[in-house]
Amino acid sequence: MRLQRSQYLAKIAKSTAFQTTIYLTVIIVMSNLNALVDLILHPDIPYFDEEHLIVGGVTCFVSIVLFGILFIYVRHLDNALNTIKTLESILPVCSNCKKIRKTDSDPKKMDSWQPIESYITQKTTTSFSHGICPECFSKLYPEYDDNKTKQNDVT
């Protein structure tokens, strides 16, 4: 339940509408900050004083530029993170023995390839137990395969 909620919140936080709403809210608060402080500390100064309008306009412009740059930078970092995740999900695997090549290693050297079990054990919390499927069992151990001995007995 807690994981679903955090995934839902993360999805909402990445939405453009939510980020734009936060962006505009910050801009509005920043542009009215001087007038809000004067409203509390100096109630005799009117809210729409000329000084408040000038300071608020300059603060609004600076906030738009700074938070706009931050907004674009965060989007850029998010795209870079997605690209990295995609590139990490592409694994170089030997087509014959299914060993995986270590990242940034020479594919021609033997020590740069490792069994898939050790790779997955290092990268995740998964443990392995080994067995043998019926097809491989009949290929490797035909004398112990009950299906083949029954077929041979019938013929």
pLDDT digits (tens, 9 = 90+) for 87-144: 667 778 888 888 888 877 777 787 788 888 888 888 778 888 888 888 888 888 888 8
Q: pLDDT grade, residue 81 (50/70/90)?
A: confident
Residue 116: its pLDDT value, please?
A: 84
pLDDT band (50, 70, 90) for residue 8: confident
**47, 39 contact by CB (below 8 A):** yes
Q: What average pLDDT is seen over the chain?
A: 81
CA atoms of 60 and 32, how far apart (whole Å): 8
Torsion of CA 66, 70, 76, 79, to 10 degrees: -150
pLDDT of residue 2: 65
The first and second tokens of residue 55, run together, are: 């300071």
Band of pLDDT at residue 152, cut at 50, 70 and 90: low
Inter-CA distances, 117 with 61, 74, 93, 100, 152, Å: 56, 36, 12, 9, 37
Confidence class for position 9, pLDDT limits 50, 70, 90: confident
pLDDT of residue 73: 92
Residue 119 · residue 108 · CB < 8 Å: no
At 100, phi and psi to the nearest 5? -110, 135
Task: Using the predicted structure, report yes or no on whether residue 154 has a pLDDT greater than 60.
Answer: no
Q: Which residues contact 54 (CB under 8 A, 6 or more apart)?
A: none
What residues contact 128, with CB distance under 8 A and at least 6 apart?
Answer: 117, 120, 121
